[in-house]
Amino acid sequence: MSGSKLMTAVRVSEHGAPSVLRLCTGLTAPEPAARQVLIRVHACGVNPVETYIRAGTYGRLPALPYTPGSDAAGVVEAVGGGVSTLQVGDRVFTTATESGGYAEYATASDDCVHKLPDALDFLQGAAIGIPYFTAYRALVHKARTRPGETVLIHGASGGVGVAACQLSRALGFQVLGTAGTAAGMKLVVDNGAHQAFNHTDEGYADRIMEATGGRGVDVIVEMLSNVNLSRDLHMLAYGGRVAVVGCRGSVEINPRDTMAKESSIMGVAVFFATPEERKECGAWLHAGMEGGWLRPVVGRQYPLNMAAQAHHDIIECPGAAGKIVLTM
Ligand code: NAP
């Protein structure tokens, strides 16, 4: 019985610095309720939002104590009542968990659990959830990007950025991406961008404009709006859209810059996706896994007992190289 299993998991009992992520052993593994599955977790993605929640600075906070982690990958260990689409032994990845993915076992609602094809390993499975669903939401549901349009993935070397590059290329967009290092720029091109630029270079925005023949880009998927939003408005073509995915503070813009191009700034929050939108996105991503264009890129890997280091590094260490993943 799953209830008798003991597990190791990361627990957060107070908000604060990465050191509040404590590794606890001998915890009782959760049991799946109706419409839930219990997953033996092999890997779990680390997302920046988990650091904001841990620090207590995010708008929506879980009750303490809690275990972080929404992007788990592993094998179904047990299923609760009413689960018809998943079976014990299935390889899966999640877009959300009930009990937390930084753990050896986690429960998740069946509509947040997706089958992981054999071609992808568990590390890659842990790099799909939030990044790919966010990329799809920004590009398709919010910016309504159309084939033939030019997109700039502003911050393309991290978890969401790599996903956005792959998705954009598969959808027939002209893809420009930025990174902060030469290795990051190579990664961006290797994952679907037609051209890459270094967002730490003076004048890189001019080079992006040159790459579009002076016309500007139709859509910007923005990972650091508090730094880039004002400049973004000058890089848009007529009718352009900025999809605000990442933001770590305030920024001053001149609203007149939106009038000059009749452009739009739109917020993106992946958790607002409706069940229908999640289903649509899931279907598209499965097509990508079958077709081979969806290839999650795993960057730095950390064992579960180094979760605090992973939280430090995802915020403090530039030079992203794909998704940061914890291994169990
Ligand atoms: P990540 O893996 O840590 O990647 C961060 C990215 O930002 C890297 O590509 C990094 O490039 C880039 N970056 C650094 N400085 C930049 C600059 N000046 N201009 C543009 N990009 C810059 O994080 P992630 O998982 O991709 O998430 C990216 C952001 O989106 C985070 O702020 C996260 O909280 C947010 N997010 C929001 C949602 C939502 O629903 N709205 C969902 C998921 C994530 P280098 O390291 O190469 O410099």
d(CA 268, CA 302): 29
Tokens 């404590």 map to which residue? 22
Query: What's the CA-to-centroid distance between 246 and ligand 1, angstroms?
Result: 6
Residues β-bridged to residue 264: 241
CA distance 18 to 316: 12
Position 1 scores a pLDDT of 46
CA distances from 82 to 1, 35, 203, 206 (A): 18, 5, 57, 56
Q: Which residues line ligand 1 (CB under 6 A)?
A: 47-49, 130-131, 134, 154-161, 178-181, 184, 199, 223-224, 227-228, 245-246, 268-270, 314, 318-320
* Closest protein CA for atom 12 of ligand 1: 155
b (16+ CB within 10 A) / e for 184-213: bbebbbebbbebbbebeeeeebeebeebbe
Return the residue whose CA atom lies nearest to atom 13 of ligand 1. 155
Q: Which tens digits make up the pLDDT trace of 155-183?
A: 999 999 999 999 999 999 999 999 999 99
Best mutation site among 142, 223, 245, 317 for ligand 1 pocket (most ligand atoms within 8 Å of CB): 223
- The Å distance, Cα 223 to ligand 1 centre, comes to 4
Which amino acid is present at 96? A
Residue 88 contacts by C-beta under 8 Å, 6 or more apart in sequence? 76, 77, 78, 79
The rounded Å distance from CA 114 to ligand 1 centre is 24
- Model confidence, pTM: 0.97
pLDDT in single tens digits along all 328 residues of the chain: 445 799 999 999 999 999 999 999 999 999 999 999 999 999 999 999 999 999 999 999 999 999 999 999 999 999 999 999 999 999 999 999 999 999 999 999 999 999 999 999 999 999 999 999 999 999 999 999 999 999 999 999 999 999 999 999 999 999 999 999 999 999 999 999 999 999 999 999 999 999 999 999 999 999 999 999 999 999 999 999 999 999 999 999 999 999 999 999 999 999 999 999 999 999 999 999 999 999 999 999 999 999 999 999 999 999 999 999 999 9
Evaluate whether 199 touches 178 at the Cβ level (below 8 Å): yes
